[in-house]
Amino acid sequence: MALHSAGAVREKKQTMAELKLRRLTELNARLREDLDRPRIKVSEACTSMINYTRNTKDFMVPSLWGQVDKREDPYAPQQSGGCCVIS
């Protein structure tokens, strides 16, 4: 009886060790992927964002860009003919 329970305990410990090893291997793979991801400096990212916001017209900020013609504004409600045709 003692032999059987000792074997079960050893098997359980081995299974737990294998599970722990697998989790650590997966974590290591994810960390390597993060490490391989291309990076840029924060100052470069900020400069890029500033240039984008200065050069890209934003229809939601009329105080900066002025009023937009309704034909150019993608957010303006679409004007229909005023009536509908039922056929």
Which pTM value belongs to this model? 0.43
- Which of 10-14, 40-44, 45-49, 77-81 has the lowest average pLDDT? 77-81
Judge whether residue 48 has pLDDT over 70: yes
Per the domain annotation, does 33 fall within a domain? yes
Count of structural domains within the chain? 1
Per the domain annotation, does 82 fall within a domain? no
Give the mean pLDDT of 8-20. 84
Per the domain annotation, does 26 fall within a domain? yes
Per the domain annotation, does 7 fall within a domain? no
Per the domain annotation, does 44 fall within a domain? yes
Per the domain annotation, does 85 fall within a domain? no
Q: Residue 37 is part of which domain span?
A: 17-55
Per the domain annotation, does 67 fall within a domain? no
Q: Which amino acid is at 77?
A: P
Write down the pLDDT at residue 42: 97
Judge whether residue 80 has pLDDT over 70: no
Q: How confident is the model at residue 6 (pLDDT cuts 50, 70, 90)?
A: low
Contact 57, 65 (CB under 8 A): yes
